[in-house]
Structure 1
């Protein structure tokens, strides 16, 4: 039952992420020819030579070719989520282009539209990556280059995306090429920021004269676990009970309010953490 629930949750989140990426591509990237890496960037460039083929169908063709090349060079080194995401994104872009065929810039302001062309795909990609998937595409190119050159996968991915952004400059002019390279760099930082934001949790460390009440509240009301240990104060040399627990933002506020209601002298430290692995949080293989 838990597996079905997790699968359904991941499936919904991946599709939300794909829709956000598709909006960014169709409404902001394609009309301005921003090729900030990825299959969408490659498709934008190639579609300029074949005006009768929209970017969506071109992405589908490129993804099929990349999958075939990937199987040839890498074997079955693909996750089912990534295969689904890469083809679903092509279909979403195709559908959006059919329903809302935008051929020109909405505002005429390249910098403004570059920002939005980064925000939507960055947020969408972060959601997809957080579900242990990716949109495929140039990931395959990066893996092949990494296998042939022994370079780190991160460097080869940046290299392949940079070449696509530079290609936009060769096809659409140096101005668009420079915007595309800036967009590529900013997108990389944006994805990391959004992923950290999605995973952020609150680590609470509590020293209180009412440890049993706080422990019972954490376990029975908030339904979270806690670690309890004894410590000695440096000034008082007095033994104290310390409670450590990890909560989401809402639960942290709830617990803080409760602690203040039962012990005004409690000492509480709250810090952000984004890598929580274990029961109740991310599994070790995600």
Structure 2
């Protein structure tokens, strides 16, 4: 029940961010929500209907990578977000909170960040770009974060063409940055990546799931316990904060007896794989 309360709260914040701040000021966010905003300006479809049309095929594909339970919860999340956005925009006619672009970028980013943060805390997702990134990362040498960055950059570049306004694209970049910082704060209290040490007896299946569902690689370390000198195997990975909950779910599902340590990553050098 707590997860669904987080998801509903997240959907409300996302709807307010889109309708009251981003949409009236031609500011774009990242992911499939940003693409839906763009297409809304050049098509007769509502933002909510576009989000559903874009995301559902990706989520059907994502069942293979994330599992049916996660995909179904994400479908529910996207439907809630889509309905709330269309209710606010098409029926309530929620007015623009400001016509100052800088305020719209900052506070729109805050609302989007709050929304996405709460959705992630509810063990769900708000769009299909994460699925695309995870699939590409599992089949190429690119990291999921790099793929998401490329998707967001492509959407921003497309917005320059649609709006014919480079300045609004720059404000959109600021808004996306604000969103990412807010997400980090909600999930961990401060922005950073996490270093995760996993001592497990199911190293093969856990490693395979990490690569498949997180799009991340890591290092396997061999050692022994201090007390009984038993052979131990540890997986060392660096994980984006938004993926920590998925990682915990993997561990819980495939080796609930494993030992997990999560610490801050203060500085990262090199690719590490």
Q: How high is the TM-score relative to the length of structure 2?
A: 0.63
Structure 1 stretches lacking a partner, 5+ long: 1-7, 199-273
Matched with 2:4 is: 11
Return the alpha-carbon distance in structure 2 between the equivalents of residues 179 and 59 of structure 1: 22
Structure 2 stretches lacking a partner, 5+ long: 191-240, 254-273
Return the alpha-carbon distance in structure 2 between the equivalents of residues 70 and 131 of structure 1: 18
Contact 1:22-1:93 within 8 A present in 2 as well: yes
- What is the deviation of 1:170? 2.2
Alpha-carbon RMSD = 2.7
- What is the deviation of 1:70? 4.1
Matched with 1:236 is: none
Q: How does 1:43-122 map to 2 (within 5 A)?
A: 43-50=36-43, 52-70=44-62, 74=64, 77=67, 79=70, 80-102=72-94, 105-122=96-113
Q: Deviations over 1:108-164 (max 9, x none)?
A: 200011111111111121111122221132112222332342311122122212221
Give the 3-state SS of the residue equivalent to 1:101 in structure 2. Answer: coil
Matched with 1:153 is: 144
Matched with 2:216 is: none
- What is the deviation of 1:68? 4.3
Tell me which structure has the larger Cα radius of gyration.
Answer: 1
Q: How many residues align?
A: 194
Are the structure 2 counterparts of residues 100 and 41 from structure 1 closer, same or farther at C-alpha, using a change threshold of 3 Å? same
Q: How high is the TM-score relative to the length of structure 1?
A: 0.60
Q: Does 1:186 align with 2:178?
A: yes
Return the alpha-carbon distance in structure 1 between the equivalents of residues 65 and 144 of structure 2: 17
Matched with 1:22 is: 15
Matched with 1:177 is: 169
Contact 1:47-1:54 within 8 A present in 2 as well: yes
Q: Deviations over 1:50-101 (max 9, x none)?
A: 1x21211111211223334546xx5664513222212221122122212332
Return the alpha-carbon distance in structure 2 between the equivalents of residues 151 and 77 of structure 1: 22
Give the 3-state SS of the residue equivalent to 2:78 in structure 1. Answer: helix
